[in-house]
Structure 1
Amino acid sequence: MNHIDIADIETWPHPMGVNSDRRDVTGALEAEDVAIVRYELEPGEQFSGGLHTHHDQEELFYILEGTATFDVGPEPDADHAEGHASERPDTEEVVAEAGEVVRFPPGQFQCGRNRSDDTVVGLVIAAPDTRHEWEALESFAPCAGDCDGITSHGVRQPDGDGMVVYCNECGTELQVA
């Protein structure tokens, strides 16, 4: 058995600088079959680096304090369960208050953020496994290459720290610390 106090877990901000208080509960508990991350989002901060999906994990967002707002794409269908999307999906806004839980199945695009004036505290629980496959992560972001506008991007882990984000259209890569 492992037992921890959240306050004793070192902060581990997102490599893209979109939040400042992210704590790896999974690592602190040495869990292997579930991923848990605790976030404290100040106004304007977000859980992740933009609209994205994990094709290999479902995610649950349990809002402990405050109000989180999610941009949510449509539920994935069997035809789009794997591979990358050809265009950014339309999204709807979903608001989750303290005490509420939001579930995203594998393949559903989402981005959660704090659009309020108060702090948001939440736990993100993902399964199966503690780490998704980098190749199963997809996000929509402005292309740093020759593409015009926002395109589908993949992610891979480099030999060192951080991650490499690459455009699925033109292949332009961006190293993120």
Structure 2
Amino acid sequence: MEKVTIDDVSVVNNPLGVHSVRKPVSRDLGTEDFAMNYFELQPGESFSGGLHAHHDQEEVFYVQEGTATFEVGREREEHEVGAGELIRFERGEFQVGKNDSEERVVGFALGAPKSRHDFDEMESVVHCRECDAETVHDLDLTQQGAFTFACTDCGNEFTIG
């Protein structure tokens, strides 16, 4: 049995700088088969760096406070999730959640069956500087804590963070 309080979990943010408070609760609890991250999003911030899919993990987001907007699929269909509501994404479903409101959003990202992302099983949709279009990119986390993106159409790579 492990027990923590949110206040005691250290802030560990995404290297893309897209949010100001992310607390990896599952790390402090020592989970192996379940991921849990606590977020506080100020206006304009997001849970992740952009539209992405996890091929090895399904995700559920619980909004405790405020209203988050999720873009779903390559078509970026928008869905609002308010306080007390949850939204689920199956493996391989592209999504991004963000705070488009003027109020703070507090919520949790929950994932299974792993406690950490396997970056080889993730894809992001970003602008390719070589193709000059929004394309799917493979994603890798470097030892320095930065993200490397590789276009699946042309192979062009770039690193952020």
Q: 2:139 aligns with which of 143, 149, 155?
A: 155
Q: Which residue of 1 aligns with 2:43?
A: 43
Question: Who is 2:95 aligned against?
Answer: 110
Q: Which runs of 5+ in 1 are unaligned?
A: 74-88
Partner of 2:76: 91
Q: CA deviation at 1:172?
A: 1.8
The match for 2:154 is 170
Relative to total residues, which structure has the larger strand share, 1 or 2?
A: 2
Structure 2 gap segments, 5+ residues each = none
Taking only aligned residues, the RMSD between alpha carbons, in angstroms, comes to 1.1
* Equivalence for 1:77: none
- How many positions carry a matched residue from both structures? 161
Q: TM-score, normalised by structure 2?
A: 0.95
Report how far residue 66 of structure 1 moved: 0.3
Q: CA deviation at 1:26?
A: 0.9
2:12 equivalent to 1:6: no
In the alignment, what sits opposite 1:26? 26
Give the superposition deviation at 1:96: 0.5
The secondary structure found in structure 2 opposite 1:38 is strand
Measured against aligned partners, the alpha-carbon deviations of 1:18-67 in whole angstroms (never above 9, x if no partner) come to 11100000111111110000000000000111111101110000000000
Paired residue for 1:121? 106
Alpha-carbon distance between aligned partners in 2 of 1:67 and 1:130, rounded to the nearest angstrom: 26
**Structure 1 length as normaliser, TM-score?**
0.87
- Identical-pair percentage: 44
Contact 2:137 2:152 in 1 (8 A): yes
Separation of aligned partners in 2, 1:65 and 1:159? 34
C-alpha offsets along residues 50-109 of structure 1, whole Å, 9 cap, x if unaligned? 111101110000000000000111xxxxxxxxxxxxxxx212110001000100000111
- Structure 1 residue 175 displacement after superposition: 2.0
4+ runs deviating over 2 angstroms: 157-163
